[in-house]
């Protein structure tokens, strides 16, 4: 029997956007624990450097850099920094997003909100992938894993955010088609509701949401980190262009319909 090695990412250099907290942070910890050198980037410089320090304290290898994915120059600098620090770039994890509150009436959605949600959530991963691709090709085992959302596949509210997440599934496919022959895999993870600071102060809503999940709970950042690690690793070496739902079954099962039908007249 071949032993399963715990260090799937020994010798890998990985750049993660928006990794100061939440899903990005859990992913950074997971990949570092499996041997990767991780560049933790975030809009918030202190958040990124605190996260990198925590990874180093846990025995991992990490550096940090402030990077706003809306800024092409900052994105290119982050890619260059990863290559300079770790000598290569093997994996890009696109995790940054923007999600505006929906206006009560659709006709009141401001241009700036719509444009910002698309710019950060959809164009951000485009900018990062464009800057990283030559290095991922050079790696010979390059992979891009982008964080989408169940919002890209069904209505959970959030007009611009959801449209952007749906767009990421398309970008994943077109980029997979382009980059596959160059040796780079491209995949999307679509999380359901995950307990992060994005939901701070909304415990009652999370409790109501949990009741709708076939698996009886909402997700954790670690649930997503393990899926990202799988898709980034050689365990997924024949998987590209796909969307992996990590959603406790919410897209597959119509819980509301089942509950309505189960009610006694």
Write out the catalytic residue numbers: 161
Query: Minimal distance in Å, beta carbon 168 to ligand NAD?
Result: 9
Number of separate helices (H) and strands (E) present in the chain: 9, 7
Q: Which residue's CB is nearer to ligand NAD, number 76 or number 138? A: 76
Q: Could you tell me which residues come within 8 angstroms of residue 71 by beta carbon, excluding any fewer than 6 positions away?
A: none
The residues binding ligand NAD (CB under 6 A) are 17-18, 20-24, 42-44, 47, 67-70, 95-98, 120, 147, 149, 191, 193-194, 196-198
Answer yes or no: are the C-beta atoms of 66 and 44 closer than 8 Å. Answer: yes
Query: Minimal distance in Å, beta carbon 79 to ligand NAD?
Result: 14
Q: Which residue's CB is nearer to ligand NAD, number 210 or number 239? A: 210
Q: How many CB atoms lie within 10 A of CB 109?
A: 15
Q: Which residue's CB is nearer to ligand NAD, number 14 or number 23? A: 23
Q: What is the side-by-side strand order in the sheet with 13-16?
A: 61-66, 37-42, 13-16, 91-94, 143-147, 185-191, 243-246
Q: Which residue's CB is nearer to ligand NAD, number 10 or number 205? A: 205
Q: Which residue's CB is nearer to ligand NAD, number 13 or number 146? A: 146
User: Is residue 112 packed enough to be buried (19+ CB in 10 Å), middle (13-18) or exposed (0-12)?
Assistant: exposed
Query: Minimal distance in Å, beta carbon 11 to ligand NAD?
Result: 27
Residue 245 has phi, psi (to 5 degrees) of: -75, 125
Query: Minimal distance in Å, beta carbon 86 to ligand NAD?
Result: 20
Which helix (DSSP H) or strand (DSSP E) does residue 244 occupy? strand 243-246
Query: Minimal distance in Å, beta carbon 209 to ligand NAD?
Result: 9
Which helix (DSSP H) or strand (DSSP E) does residue 72 occupy? helix 72-86
């Amino acid at each position: 029997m071949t032993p399963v090695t715990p260090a799937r990412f020994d010798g890998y250099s990985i750049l993660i956007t928006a990794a100061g907290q939440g899903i990005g942070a859990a992913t950074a910890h997971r990949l570092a624990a499996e041997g990767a050198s991780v560049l933790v980037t975030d809009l918030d410089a202190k958040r990124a450097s605190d996260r990198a320090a925590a990874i180093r304290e846990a025995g991992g290898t990490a550096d940090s850099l402030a990077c706003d994915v809306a800024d092409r120059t900052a994105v290119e600098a982050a890619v260059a920094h990863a290559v300079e620090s770790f000598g290569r770039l093997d994996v890009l994890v696109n995790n940054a997003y923007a999600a505006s509150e929906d206006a009560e009436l659709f006709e009141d959605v401001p241009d700036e909100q719509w444009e910002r949600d698309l710019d950060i959530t959809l164009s951000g991963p485009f900018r990062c992938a464009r800057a990283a691709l030559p290095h991922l090709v050079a790696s010979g085992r390059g992979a891009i894993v982008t964080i989408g959302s169940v919002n890209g596949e069904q209505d959970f509210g959030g007009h611009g955010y959801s449209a952007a997440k749906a767009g990421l599934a398309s970008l994943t496919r077109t980029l997979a088609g382009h980059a596959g022959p160059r040796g780079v895999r491209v995949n999307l993870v679509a999380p359901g509701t995950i307990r992060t600071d994005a939901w701070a102060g909304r415990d009652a809503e999370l409790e109501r949401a949990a009741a709708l999940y076939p698996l009886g709970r909402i997700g954790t950042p670690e649930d997503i980190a393990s899926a990202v690690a799988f898709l980034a690793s050689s365990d997924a070496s024949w998987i590209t262009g796909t969307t992996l739902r990590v959603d406790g079954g919410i897209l597959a099962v119509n819980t509301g319909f089942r509950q309505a039908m189960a009610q006694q007249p």
